[in-house]
Amino acid sequence: MSAPVPARLTLDKVVSRVISVPMRRPIVSRVGNYGRWPFILIDVITKEGIVGRSYLEPYRLTATKSIIAIIDDMAEQQRGKRLAPVERFQEAMGTLHLLGRQGVILLAMAGLDMAMWDALAKSVDQPLAVLLGGTVGPVRAYNTNGLWLIPLEEIADQARSLVEEGAFKAVKIRLGRDRAKDDLKAIAEVRRAVGEDIILMSDFNQGLTFDAGMRRLHQLDHQGLEWFEEPIAFDDFTGSARLARELKTPLQIGENIYGPRSFLCAVQADAADCYMPDLGRIGGVTGWLRAAAIAGAAGLGMSSHLYPEFSAHLLRVTESADWLEWRDWGNPFLAEPFEVRDGAIQIPERAGAGVEWDEAAVKRFTAA
């Protein structure tokens, strides 16, 4: 029996809205402090009545205006065309030789791409993972909802609460304090609170220079961490490759890589031991699938960065799938947030990516 064929859908219009959601645990990191988190909600409306939904996480509220302007321009160029995200992705990339293929342009493309894939999956009443040739099921996750650069005396209690939120087997801690002994103390506090069996990832949020990174990572290399994430500037592939060669702890990068071509450049440079693309920057579902093929062929573990709902579906069809980064910052505006149980995100048996808006919450969080 052949698989159902997605309906022929035609783009009618795109509606984008900006909301700002308060954080339960404010972000305190080398890249900035955030008490609220902005989202761009995207509805791709087809002439056939099916609506595809996605969102973007632009970090800064002030960046949303320029991103939405590009989304509107791209939507106008695609109005009346068949909803075919792979073709639309190819067309857009081909027209961006002069403007560039990174930054907010790729973010806008990614938002539209994810919403188009959501609509196609809805047109056959199948979860996105099934449309892509996989199945729904649990995806192992680590909790990234806390353990920022907070006071050392708060770390133990927060670590315990992160594990308890979904019986997590892994959590992430942010490192890169002014003194190495404080990073060591932070790690020790987590171990004391949750035990040695909980896997501990670390993230430096690009907070170190190469020289400082080399010194600090050697000082922490015996701590049994799952990985060192982005210790230096994300696009210093040469420096990252040097660190990866010298350290026992795996080096993780990828959330700031824009598009599959840049992803290939990082892999060719041996810039890291494992990768974690961000759906907004890698190019949405289409960009992820292309990067996943590269990672799989190279035998490199591929984890996700933010966007846990779409990422869960994609990790189910990723050859070298590793970890899903779980954050609940979008739960307040989702009609049915995904469940986390036994340290894994549970993909629901719902058509599309499973992302629908709680309109009352959207209204409450609408940004001025």
Q: How many other C-beta atoms can be found within 10 angstroms of the C-beta atom of residue 90?
A: 12
Q: Which of 352, 359, 274 is nearest to 312 (CA)?
A: 352
Structure tokens at 195: 């035990």
Q: Give the separation between CA 151 and CA 149, rounded to whole angstroms.
A: 7
Task: Output the tens digit of pLDDT for each of the chain's 368 residues.
Answer: 455 556 689 999 999 999 999 999 999 988 889 999 999 999 999 999 999 999 999 999 999 999 999 999 999 989 999 998 888 777 777 666 666 677 888 999 999 999 999 999 999 999 999 999 999 999 999 999 999 999 999 999 999 999 999 999 999 999 999 999 999 999 999 999 999 999 999 999 999 999 999 999 999 999 999 999 999 999 999 999 999 999 999 999 999 999 999 999 999 999 999 999 999 999 999 999 999 999 999 999 999 999 999 999 999 999 999 999 999 999 999 999 999 999 999 999 999 999 999 999 999 999 87
Largest Cα–Cα distance in the chain? 62
Query: What order do you get walking across the sheet with 32-46 strand by strand?
Result: 11-29, 32-46, 51-56
Structure tokens at 6: 């997605």
Task: Report CA-CA distances (Å) from 185 to 192, 202, 222, 285, 346.
Answer: 10, 14, 14, 39, 34
Helix (H) / strand (E) containing 341:
strand 339-341
Q: Which of 250, 259, 300, 254 is nearest to 277 (CA)?
A: 254
Specify the pLDDT at position 3. 54
Specify the pLDDT at position 4. 58
Q: What is the CA radius of gyration of the chain?
A: 20
Residue with tokens 């080398």: 30
Q: What angle do CA 53, 54, 57 make, to 5 degrees?
A: 155
Q: Give the separation between CA 114 and CA 107, rounded to whole angstroms.
A: 11
Q: Give the separation between CA 233 and CA 240, rounded to whole angstroms.
A: 9
Domains of the chain, each with CATH number or no CATH: 11-125 (3.30.390.10), 130-356 (3.20.20.120)
Amino acid residing at 263? F
Looking at the DSSP bridge assignments, the partners of residue 200 are 171
Q: How many other C-beta atoms can be found within 10 angstroms of the C-beta atom of residue 57?
A: 18
The pTM of the full predicted model, rounded to 2 decimals, is: 0.94
Q: Give the separation between CA 132 and CA 311, rounded to whole angstroms.
A: 13
Structure tokens at 98: 């002069």
Q: Give the separation between CA 164 and CA 343, rounded to whole angstroms.
A: 9
Amino acid residing at 257? I
- Phi/psi for 195 (5° steps) reads 95, 170
Q: Give the separation between CA 208 and CA 230, rounded to whole angstroms.
A: 9
Q: Is 19 helix (H, G, I), strand (E, B) or coil?
A: strand
